[in-house]
Structure 1
């Protein structure tokens, strides 16, 4: 189960540019929970004046999906502070 405390820890790390130890991350998280974390994390960014600007899609080839035992491409939200140019 993903908690708000975990999302807060991720956001604090992002905001303060601090690396997190791998022990912080749940080892039994499933794909649906991972996307829930991603959406909650993006909501935390929005609440702190970042604006959703687009999406990034990764692992689009069968080769990269095989490297991570994925069945489909992954996506993530991008905010104005993550886009340059």
Structure 2
């Protein structure tokens, strides 16, 4: 049985994840200029959300890089195995 990873498809998917994580925008215009306490609380919560979002982006990009590294290692290993089997006759 032959198991093959579709490396191009994986790389494209990882690039899409990176792009989407980098392009997310949750900014709120006029932040910090709210005179009412409830609106000030909303601005505070928005800032917390932005901090969480920034952390999410960092983790997503780190995971994408780790996945890309793992896929690259699997591809190299697959190529090494293929070279090892070249020229050998399969006997049963």
TM over 0.5: no
Q: When you count strand as a share of all residues, which structure comes out higher?
A: 1
Q: TM-score, normalised by structure 2?
A: 0.25
TM-score (norm 1): 0.26
Larger Rg: 2
Higher RCO (CA-CA < 8 Å; seq separation 6+): 2
